[in-house]
Structure 1
């Protein structure tokens, strides 16, 4: 598993919230909604590409998931995406499959944490 114990880094989360000022709650809720939708599509793409062995598209999907994950403070997930990008670049299928398994677990933990952080529930 990734070396990050918490799915969301609270310092990164609070730094992002600070940008929103008085509208921080609404901004964060909107970002969570967008992230849930976008990350679900990227995870589906990663799964599809792993089955079809399309490592170029898999690498692109992992790259596309990395930045928004880091922005929301999901640093462990962002690191897994980076490692998946590298493994898919080197055609290391055993590492790719292992990283995807780990990424799926960590992604669910991230989503669960983000949902708990919503203020519009």
Structure 2
């Protein structure tokens, strides 16, 4: 059984709940990412901020300075265990229309699995 651990990214760009949406926009632009896992003051996974969440909160031209990440982040995103079967994680992405799944172990963020990770896996399988 292939697991999420095998394809997840572990080099993560994160942001804190108290950081500003301007900080989030800068991180997304600098690292060319569309998802930022959000950590609380104790560095535990607290939610996810997506590019879509950011645009909804600030508009396309507002910079988001002074607006904390916690006001726009999605707290309802559930993380998956790193040992979850890849098929189950893939179904979760499709059913919930998420672009990524945070990978959480004992309350700590240990990785992120994205649609791109699944495409790369499919290409490896197809190319043999």
TM-score above 0.5: no
Q: TM-score range by the shorter chain?
A: 0.3 to 0.5
Greater relative contact order (Cα 8 A, min sep 6): structure 1 or 2?
A: 1
Structure with greater helix share of residues? 1
**TM-score computed with the length of structure 1 as normaliser:** 0.35
**TM-score computed with the length of structure 2 as normaliser:** 0.33
Structure with greater strand share of residues? 2
